[in-house]
Chain A
Amino acid sequence: MGRIEWAMWANEQALASGLILVTGGIVAVAAQFKGWPFAAYSIAAGVFVCLLEYPRGKRKKGSTMERCGQKYFTAVVKVFGPVTRNYYVRAILHAALAVPAGFLLSTILGMACLGIASAIYLLAAIRGEEWNPIEQKPQERPQVGGGTIKQPPTMPPPRPPVETRKKQPAEVAGQENPVPVAVEAE
């Protein structure tokens, strides 16, 4: 349990909360429930949370699976430097964003989920995790032999001429054993 990066789960939870906030908000606004301005707010808050949480941070150990098309979002989120890198900020931000959504039934679920995400982010921050962007690595030519071969050969190895290259007859399948092999009974 010690190697868990809570931020990764908090990220999934926050992304889901954003979607739930948007959905709840749309329902309340479309059907014009009482108090729908709160719903309009939660649509905006939900969209913001989704945009912020979409780019996944880099894992400390191992490779991180990027979300589809996240490099554009990474570029934007990276710009804010310490504000987006620090998880304490995110925890407080999500908690603050969640509060107004609690005033309308349609968005209460979003509030609860975002609140939980905020709590998990707080846990991540306490354990010293940080958001690091996943950088694109430049394409390298794969090094053969781990970089010890300086001048790889350019011509194929010499082979005997075509006539001497016999094909094995179909009956003799497989190899010729140098040592006689006895077939054991079942």
Chain B
Amino acid sequence: VLSSYSFYWFQGAAWLGLNVFLFVYYFLLFDRDKKFYYTRVLLGSALAWARASAKCLNFNSMLILLPVCRNLLSFLRGTCSCCRRTMRKQLDHNLTFHKLVAYAIALFTAVHIIAHLCNFEWYNDSQQAADGSLSSILSDLHQDEESNKWLNPIHSNSTVSTPAYVTFTTIPGLTGVIITVALILMVTSSMEFIRRSYFEVFWYTHHLFIIYFAGLVIHGIAGLVRGQTAESLNKHNPEHCAQDPTHWGGNNKHSHCEEPEFGSIPAEVSPSSVVVHPSKVLELQMHKKGFSMEVGQYIFINSPSVSRLEWHPFTLTSAPEEDFFSVHIRAVGDWTENLIDTFQQQKPKTPRIEVDGPFGTASEDVFQYEVAMLVGAGIGVTPFASVLKSIWYKFQHADQRLKTKKIYFYWLCRDTGAFAWFNDLLASLEQEMEESGKASFLNYRLFLTGWDNSIAGQAAFNFDKDTDVVTGLKQKTSFGRPRWSNEFSAVATAHPRSVVGVFLCGPQALAKSLQKCCHQYSSLDPRKVKFYFNKENF
């Protein structure tokens, strides 16, 4: 008994230690970093209080589901029937931890709100002030331009612009109020008295946690709190330049202080390379310090020049081994069309892009199988760009983590128009493999499901040619849907003793048929071929 209690005591102490560490670390970061020098001129240390408590809120919000999810899962699985007593003790301990984390969330919420109340008020004061002070000069910077370089989010000094107005007209403000109200309702209905006497009130109200989490994710996205951009810091050192704000920007022989420029904390990236592919596909290659990704992840992209508030998710198409990260954006709606137009216009300055992420579960399993069958249908081919590139890099560098010896890649789409870029990727991979003498590593088949007689006629006519007439690849294109039974039996015959991983990114119906084939063609003998269908969602 003593040992189990000391374990829980240790867990509590570790949690407390982490909280303290997070708070102090981020407090010092925002209170000392030169990037936020001017933000601090406007806000004082309320900035640091707000951000440090925000990090602790993120941490604790992540944790709070953990103690109750496991129990719920066990309960659903029905495993607790055999060890009721230990289960109940476990449940009690987990609930205690859940309540502890909830109290921490309530405390940090209070700190965070109070700090932001001060922030909004002081932003407003700076905006209204016309006394030529540093604060008012900073607030006026870049307010008229279309660019996103301002510091003070309160833009006009009309009387309408009170802190309350800003709160309810910005995403972080509005979501903040909503999730706080949800939190308070959850707390008051979980008071012990209410819980014991009127359990349904507690139970139904507690489901507001869904609103809490949805709002919390959105809350951090818009990035109203800003710091000076890195490139601006190179041209304008705040510690030096703050003394003489009236002479910024001009050619001054004493101090070379350009006007400072600001950006929000979810990173701003300037695309290092922009390629427009046929069929209106835009490829953006970007760099961001400290960005690390895994295969199959996605990022949110925002372009203030197209729309200030919209964030759209895109799968990453670059491999982790490359020194940049890229996405391919197809024109499917007005936001994407506008974005592509903006880049095609080739203004002297490339439009600014903001990136949040990467998110999503990484699909490391792909590298664990000796033989991999990758099936990408339509737009589902995008994550495989990342996977294929990564596998090829690992293979070339003889990465120990890569167990794959052979890949079968099946690409199904209606027409290759929109995926011409993927076509090029396959072509370049094909070439590289030939050059390294490993042409047999990747075996890919393209299936065009939207064929008509003229295409079929062309294909028949050009049958003897070396490269395919549609794609220009060495592999010939097939028309129609693949016959999975043939494919699976071919793979099973070629690799009679391997474990084959089957990965799909595509429609549910295809998942069903692939799973059926996996069962059908897996041998009962454990030494022989086995197919494993992976339900990973990219």
Contact partners of A29 in chain B: CB under 8 A: none
Across the interface, name the chain B residue whose C-beta is closest to A56. B193
Contact partners of B193 in chain A: CB under 8 A: 8, 12, 56, 65
Are A108 and B177 in touch, CB under 8 angstroms? yes
Q: Least Cβ distance of B408 to chain A in Å?
A: 57
Are B163 and A4 in touch, CB under 8 angstroms? no
Contact partners of A6 in chain B: CB under 8 A: 201
Q: Does B180 contact A (CB under 8 A)?
A: yes
Contact partners of B187 in chain A: CB under 8 A: 16
Tell me the A80-117 residues at the B interface (CB within 8 Å): 103-106, 108-109, 112-113, 116
Are B164 and A104 in touch, CB under 8 angstroms? yes
Q: How far is the CA of A112 from the CA of B180 in the complex (A)?
A: 10
User: Chain B contact residues: over half helix, strand or loop, or mixed?
Assistant: helix
Q: Does A48 contact B (CB under 8 A)?
A: no
Known contacts A13-B185, A13-B188, A105-B120; A112 and B197 CB within 8 A of each other: no
Q: Does B113 contact A (CB under 8 A)?
A: yes
Q: How far is the CA of A28 from the CA of B163 in the complex (A)?
A: 12
Q: Does B121 contact A (CB under 8 A)?
A: yes
Q: Least Cβ distance of A11 to chain B in Å?
A: 9
Are B188 and A8 in touch, CB under 8 angstroms? no
Q: Least Cβ distance of B272 to chain A in Å?
A: 42
Are B121 and A62 in touch, CB under 8 angstroms? no
Are B184 and A113 in touch, CB under 8 angstroms? yes
Tell me the A1-34 residues at the B interface (CB within 8 Å): 1, 3-6, 8-9, 12-13, 16, 20, 23-24, 27-28, 31, 33-34
Are B194 and A16 in touch, CB under 8 angstroms? no
Q: Does A59 contact B (CB under 8 A)?
A: yes
Q: How far is the CA of A3 from the CA of B187 in the complex (A)?
A: 21
Are A9 and B164 in touch, CB under 8 angstroms? no
Tell me the B105-158 residues at the A interface (CB within 8 Å): 110, 113-114, 117-118, 120-121, 124-125
Are B163 and A105 in touch, CB under 8 angstroms? yes
Q: Least Cβ distance of A117 to chain B in Å?
A: 9
Task: From A12, A31, A109, give the contact of B194 (CB < 8 A).
Answer: A12
Residues of A within 8 A of B (CB): 1, 3-6, 8-9, 12-13, 16, 20, 23-24, 27-28, 31, 33-34, 56, 59, 62, 65, 103-106, 108-109, 112-113, 116
Residues of B within 8 A of A (CB): 110, 113-114, 117-118, 120-121, 124-125, 162-164, 167, 177, 180-181, 184-185, 187-189, 191, 193-194, 197-198, 200-201
